[in-house]
Amino acid sequence: MEVLKFEGPYVFENEGQILPDVQPGISGVYLWCFRSDAGLYRVYYIGLSTDIRERLKQHRSAQLKGDYYGHNIEKLKNNKKVLVHNPGQGILDEYKEELDPGEFNQHLLNESYLFYTEVQQEGAQNPKILLERIEAALAVLVLGSGPNILHVGSLHPANLDRDMRMVSTPGSEIQYVTGQILTY
């Protein structure tokens, strides 16, 4: 059985340091996580890209500009989602007096951890379909495993031949993901 080996954790240090060991053009799936006080990583977002390094730079920029939803970081670490920032209105009214939007979004990035797995796609007719299948299967795995903080965008499940891979996260425990068999 093939293994999806997630590398990480990495951090959003600064634009030039996002996944410094990842070469441009690496295709795969990534997990944006928060780390609990007990050291367990909780998946906040699952994404895919044909160039992971470039996509994470885009995420960093969008988060800093306030283009993304933002949740209370301490609550996320404790497996709860409490919305603090809405991209349409900024910091919610009940938090406006205590939070600066720029500082909040920077702090959210500083507390984020990233994992990625490269997905080889030699000979694939449509390489993005395989990435979408893996992304959707990971989301279904996390959402169906118990209380979680996953913030799901759009999923693209594909009704094609099923495949299975073991998920490996050497040196890190990602809640509901590490050691699981993924069917997609």
Q: How far apart are CA 69 and CA 33, in angstroms?
A: 15
Q: How far apart are CA 4 and CA 103, in angstroms?
A: 35
Which whole-number Å values give the CA distances from 6 to 119, 122, 179, in the listed order?
A: 10, 19, 11
Supply 136's token pair.
């959707």
Which residue type occupies 123? G
Give the pLDDT confidence score for residue 114 in this predicted structure: 92
Give the pLDDT confidence score for residue 170 in this predicted structure: 87
Each residue's pLDDT tens digit, 34-80: 999 999 999 999 999 999 989 988 999 999 999 999 999 999 999 99
Give the pLDDT confidence score for residue 100 in this predicted structure: 95
Helix (H, G, I), strand (E, B) or coil at 45: strand
Give the pLDDT confidence score for residue 130 in this predicted structure: 85
pTM above 0.75, yes or no: yes
CB 12 within 8 A of CB 109: yes
Give the pLDDT confidence score for residue 95 in this predicted structure: 95
Residues of the chain short of pLDDT 70, as ranges, are 1, 13-19, 123-125, 153-162
Contacts of 176 by beta carbon, 8 Å cutoff, 6+ apart: 43, 141, 142, 145, 146, 148
